[in-house]
Chain A
Amino acid sequence: MIIILLFLVNFINADSLASQKTNELREMQLRDGIIELNSTGYFYYTMEFPRPYDIVIYFVAPSCKLCNDLNEHYQKVAKFYADSGALYKSESKRAVFFATMTFNDKNKQVFEQLGFISAPNLFVSQPHIVFVPQDERERYLRDMKWTISYTDGTVTAHKFLEFINKRTARQVDYKASTSEALTVIGILLGALTFGGLIFIIARPLFLNPKLWFIGSVIIFITCLAGVVYNIIHNVPFFSQNNRGGLQWKTNSGRQQLGFEGLFLSLGMTFVGLTMVLIMKLKVLLKHQKYSPFTERFLYITLFICIFVMIQFVEENYRQKSHYNPIYWPPKHYIKGPLNKDQGNSF
């Protein structure tokens, strides 16, 4: 009987301690937005049972730029979670709290225990952590922590959410704040209004097909220059070669430099535009009186321009990849009868 009573008391105690810890954490988070933990707090709230909740802890170091940059996103995520009611446990899910820890001499031990050698780190601490035996620990922790580094690319609140959602089994979505949403709407509407106004003011200009042509050619040149490629791969306009000189093109068929793309795109479009000029030369020069010789000279010059430019483009391409259009078949084609060639189905 006594044993049962003792057990009950113990049970009730544990239960009340659990709810007490939960309440404390909830109050702290509601007050500060994010709970600031020291090492005592860490051991008390995460490593001592009972703890019927998850804690997400963001480990930072002083004077760590990336930590500060990401802090804003972390706070957002904490707010999304709080807004979605994650501070209270539901039928199947534990409450989730958000805390942060800044590295100093006193809490060094915590960082070491979790195996952090750099900052920032995100860590989702679940009640099970208390049970995990030492030699399973590493594998267990590995799934629960995320050491953020430059190879993770641009880390946003979305990525934080994805990471935390997976580990807390909650489905909290990113919600733009009202001001953010209004800014986006404002910019979009503003741009639309601005475009509409410009169109109304300069309507005759926009209805001019000549302008369409110019616009099209500009788009044509920009796209041909591989601007999207340059943006994605962060390509510099120029670079330096081994000898320290200025380098404006690469020899690799899959890469390009900013200037190279633009220059060759201009060159390629130039051919077409010169061709247009040849077609239209007579009309353009209708008010000038030229001798037939000058006129023919002009035409020949334009043709030479086309020829030289095409040579130039081809020459540049040849340095990047195999390119050799010839009028006769390659040597290996006429080397013997077809059926000596391995691999054909004749």
Chain B
Amino acid sequence: MSSEEETQQSLPYKVHKSTLKWAPVFNMTILLSIAIISCLIRVFSVIRYESIIHEFDPWFNYRTTQYLVKEGPYALWNWYDSESWYPLGRSVGGTVYPGLMMTSGMIYWVLHKLSIPIDIRNVCVFLAPIFSAFTSLAAYGMTKEITKRSEAGLLSALFVAIVPSYMSRSVAGSYDNEGVSIFALVFTFYTFLKTVNTGSILWGVYTALAFFYMVASWGGYAFIINIIPIFVLFLLITGRSNSRIQVAYNVFYILGTLLAMQIPFVGFQALHSSEHMASHAVFILINFLNFFSWIRNFVSKKAIITLTKFLIVFLVFSILVGVVILTLAGKTQWSGRSLTLLDPTYAKKYIPIIASVSEHQATTWSSFFFDLHYLILFSPVGLYYCYNKPTETKIFGALYTVLGVYFASVMVRLLLVLAPAVSIMAGIGISWAFRKFAKSVRSFILPKIEKPKKYRIPPEISIIGLVILGYYCSIYVLHANFAGSEAYASPSIILSSRDRQGNRNIIDDYREAYYWLRMNTRPDDKIMSWWDYGYQITGMSNRTVLVDNNTWNNTHIATVGMAMASSEEDAFEICEKLDVDYVLVIFGGILNYSGDDINKFLWMVRIGGGVYPHIKEEDYYGKGTYRVDQYATETMTNSLMYRLSYYRFDEVQTAYGQPKGYDTVRQAVIGVKGYKLRHFEEAFTSENWIVRIFKRKQRENRDGVAFTSKSTSQFTIPKEFSPVTKFSKKANTKQRSTLNFQNNE
């Protein structure tokens, strides 16, 4: 036997050979397992709680889906919802991204055609986990397009499948746009990169279709319509553009924009909104350059130079003249608009409704770490790999990561867009390291097959490296598991607490109260609450609300904020004008539930004050801080929110060793005790007092004003009748005109 044959007979060689033979099978099996895992890890929320729609926005999506399934797609298109934004209503068909609802509606219809009588709720609950499986497959494809390596793809797929940031929006029950649109995002990028690699128009069409699905499902499509032009521009500037890029971009742009316009909510915004400007500019530029280089074939070199000079001067001059003329004619709005474009913090500083939403906050390092964990630590490795020997697709991956990091740092919610990028980068980086280590170990064991090279890492170091990286990957999995099973599993309308023995108690106050509303109020009653609970009330109680989470009308929200912040008398007037029948407040003082309305109250004051300047934030600060105890200001203790939240609160003992009326969230004894409500009456308080519902009383009869005749001129007003007294006959007529004026307004 020759030494060659001997090597071939040895065990490591056999293992190596058979592994190579079975590699594609392993590849597919692993990918499938990843897809399954990504589904399963999101079902923790159903196992630990129940199959229920989570949080706030999903309730609207769920309600819309129910409507779609019942009434059909055309009815949804024309749906004018009179149960929200009373008395304005909301045209849902024109202000909704229908992709999510259409998807689940489609699944529902198909399953029913196949005689599987599934409930629409379960379709909605399990939609996001199913789509996360698709996302991991798409991420595999995208990474493979970037690096041409399936091991990098597999790692990326695993990372995307369980990245906590993505899980926060796609656990079972979290029936939100992001659940399907992150798949659409990654899939659009995958098809786009495929087009870039192949130059195939067919794949370009797929890109446009994937983009269409993205536009149909989430406003975050603006990210795609900006990053692809930026990528193309980058390639143009660095001289890396080629015909494949042109095909990819032109097909994507033309078809994509046309398709985007088919969504009623987008419509002609696809042409004139500032988010789309970059795509138009790059389209013009790329085709102009193309045209120019075509002309170059027919014209002498000297003429080309002259032409270039002329064109540049002409362009600069025409832009300058155009801008100056537009400015002088007052057509452009420089200051306000350009400020919001140049300064991402503008809206958050000056528009309280944006600043008040927690998912709109800017991101701190700890959010990055919790939501992306080790991925954020290892993504620079992938970045380096991409920049080391850049190709178009690698540049795209790197650009996506860098832009994603920027957007994520502006708004916590956009961590979601960054999550696939860092997953892919970390996947590429770690697989690169794995490969290098593995090669060195292999060349040690199988020197015949893996020829030793000069710059190879020593094998024992490689083993250490493999162990360490493997360890960190496993910690990442554990962390993701924790995030999926604990941190992001809670539906937030069902709360759970744990007693000292470790037993779990379910706190179901929300559903209790919403059910009460459904059963005990008239169908056309109007419920006033802060906008956070609007979707839930319409979804679960089927009652009309004034404001909800679709915060399209700031003034209306401010009016509700003003009512909450006003004294009971003033609030009564506002409530009467708005036909409010019930006021619903969330109160956590008994259960130490910190997400209650008293804690959100300052935002109501701010938003209300933004439109009605007589509401001043400082009036609600006692001794310089926001407080509810004896030092709280009179404005604070008189406000409707305070009065309703703490009504009869001084009758209960909440904490051991504390007097009655001790608020466990604010950790203070309330300042006003034993008061009575004049214009409202308590209608319902849930088991743990989390939800309190008050009924607005009818207006009291005016004391003693008894007009005997229609002619007021005969009427002498007795002095002791306070509200309308004190006027002479003349003043009374004047007062009438005031009233008229108020009505007109």
| A interface residues with partner B (beta carbon < 8 Å) | 128, 130-136, 139-140, 142-143, 145-154, 158, 163, 173-176, 178, 180-182, 184-185, 189, 199, 206-207, 209-210, 212-213, 216-217, 219-220, 222-229, 231-233, 253-256, 260-261, 264-265, 268-269, 271-273, 275-276, 278-279, 281-283, 286, 292, 295-296, 299-300, 303, 306-307, 310, 313, 317, 320-321, 323-327, 330-332, 335, 338, 341-346
Contacts and interface: CB of A to CB of B under 8 A. Distances in A.
B528 interface: no
14 contacts: A146-B614, A152-B609, A184-B334, A217-B380, A220-B379, A224-B376, A228-B362, A275-B381, A276-B381, A299-B458, A310-B374, A317-B370, A325-B475, A332-B498
Interface stretch (B341-349, B579-587, B676-684): B341-349
Interface stretch (B220-228, B245-253, B652-660, B732-740): B732-740
Contacts of A175: 330
A204 B230 CA distance: 20
Of A131, A254, A317, most B-chain CB atoms within 10 Å: A131
A339 B582 CA distance: 38
B369 interface: yes
Contacts of B327: 176, 178, 181-182, 185
Contact of A344 (B49, B365, B461): B49
A133 to B, nearest CB: 5
A300 B380 contact: no
A213 B387 contact: yes
A210 B398 CA distance: 13
Given A216-B402, A286-B455, A325-B475, A343 B496 contact: yes
Given A148-B613, A220-B380, A321-B366, 12 more contacts: A133-B731, A133-B734, A180-B334, A185-B324, A226-B364, A271-B378, A272-B381, A275-B429, A279-B436, A282-B454, A323-B479, A332-B502
A299 B465 CA distance: 9
Given A268-B376, A325-B482, A303 B618 contact: no
Lowest 9 A-B CB distances belong to which pairs?
A272-B380, A151-B617, A229-B362, A223-B409, A146-B613, A325-B478, A131-B734, A282-B455, A343-B506
A233 B504 CA distance: 38
Interface in B322-337: 323-324, 327-328, 330, 332-336
Given A133-B727, A217-B380, A219-B406, A152 B613 contact: yes
Contacts of A272: 377-381, 383-384, 429
Contacts of A255: 364
Contacts of A152: 609, 613
B624 interface: no
A305 to B, nearest CB: 12
A296 B377 contact: no
A133 B410 CA distance: 51
A149 to B, nearest CB: 6
Of A180, A260, A345, most B-chain CB atoms within 10 Å: A345
B335 A184 contact: yes
B480 to A, nearest CB: 9
Given A226-B365, A272-B429, A325-B478, A213 B409 contact: no
B612 interface: yes
B726 interface: yes
A335 B59 CA distance: 33
Contacts of B618: 149-151
A185 B319 CA distance: 11
Contacts of A133: 726-727, 731, 734-735, 738
A341 B309 CA distance: 77
A189 B50 CA distance: 58
B76 interface: no
Nearest to A313: B369
B384 A229 contact: no
Contacts of B336: 158, 174
B30 interface: no
A143 B612 contact: yes
A86 to B, nearest CB: 16
Contacts of A268: 365, 368-369, 376-377
B460 A147 contact: no
B121 to A, nearest CB: 12
A223 B406 contact: yes
Contacts of B374: 310
Contacts of A151: 606, 609, 616-618
B289 interface: no
Nearest to B388: A209
> Chain B at the A interface: mostly helix, strand, loop or mixed?
helix
Contacts of A233: 362
A281 B338 CA distance: 47
Contacts of A279: 381, 384, 432-433, 436, 457
B48 interface: yes
A346 B46 CA distance: 10
A176 B472 CA distance: 56
A128 B432 CA distance: 77
Given A207-B239, A292-B458, A300 B613 contact: no
Nearest to B51: A345
A317 B366 contact: yes
Contacts of A296: 458, 460-461
Contacts of A227: 409
A246 B46 CA distance: 46
Contacts of A158: 336
Contacts of B390: 209, 212
A112 B433 CA distance: 76
B361 interface: yes
A296 to B, nearest CB: 6
Interface string B48-77: 111100000000000000000000000000
Nearest to A282: B455
B504 A343 contact: yes
Contacts of B723: 135
Nearest to A292: B458
A176 B390 CA distance: 45
A131 B504 contact: no
Contacts of B332: 181
A140 B338 CA distance: 37
A295 B459 CA distance: 12
B652 to A, nearest CB: 24
Given A153-B350, A276-B380, A303 B465 contact: yes
Nearest to B394: A209
Nearest to B411: A228
A318 to B, nearest CB: 10
Contacts of B237: 199
Contacts of A231: 345, 362
A219 B468 contact: no
A255 B324 CA distance: 45
Contacts of B472: 310
B270 interface: no
A17 B633 CA distance: 47
A224 B368 contact: yes
Nearest to B409: A223
A341 B504 contact: yes
A292 B349 CA distance: 58
B91 interface: no
B16 interface: no
Contacts of A310: 374, 377, 472
Nearest to B621: A151
Contacts of A346: 47
Contacts of B486: 330
A291 to B, nearest CB: 12
Contacts of B239: 207
Contacts of B345: 228, 231-232
Contacts of B741: 128
Contacts of B503: 335
A282 B456 contact: yes
A154 B352 CA distance: 12
Nearest to A184: B334
Contact of B402 (A145, A163, A206, A219): A219
B238 interface: yes
